[in-house]
Homo-oligomer: A and B are copies of this chain.
Amino acid sequence: MNSNFFADLPALGGDEQFRELLARPGLRIERIVSSGQCSLPGFWYDQADGEWVVVLQGEAKLRFADEMEARHLRAGDILDIAPRRRHRIDWTPAGQHTVWLAVFYRP
């Protein structure tokens, strides 16, 4: 029996879900499932690790603090977020799953 990336998606309308898929020294792979959540007003992620992320289902708007406009990400879109590059999630659509695969790596 293989583990499946798209299995066991949480119920819509619940909390954002973070699932660790692999953890090794300096490396963490996570599945993140959003359904309408976004970052709180004024909140910015400011991470010590790099984050390579791909949206595999759904869509999202991700904004970098050093850019004026949010980036509208759709299925397949990739970002490599440098350590300490501040960013936030402006929007994910309610009523559907947005599924992210994120690879966090020590710089």
Interface residues of chain A, those whose CB is within 8 Å of chain B, are 2-7, 21-22, 24, 26-27, 29, 50, 52, 54, 56, 71, 73, 75-80, 101, 103, 105, 107
Interface of A is mostly: strand
Check A77 against B2 for contact (C-beta < 8 Å): yes
Bound state CA distance, A4 and B22, in angstroms? 23
Check B103 against A29 for contact (C-beta < 8 Å): yes
Bound state CA distance, A5 and B6, in angstroms? 17
Do A78 and B3 contact each other (CB < 8 Å), given the known contacts A29-B52, A52-B29, A103-B103?
Answer: yes
Q: Given the complex, which residues of B lie within 8 Å of A6, measured CB to CB? A: 75-76
A21 touches which of B5, B52, B107 (Cβ 8 Å): B52
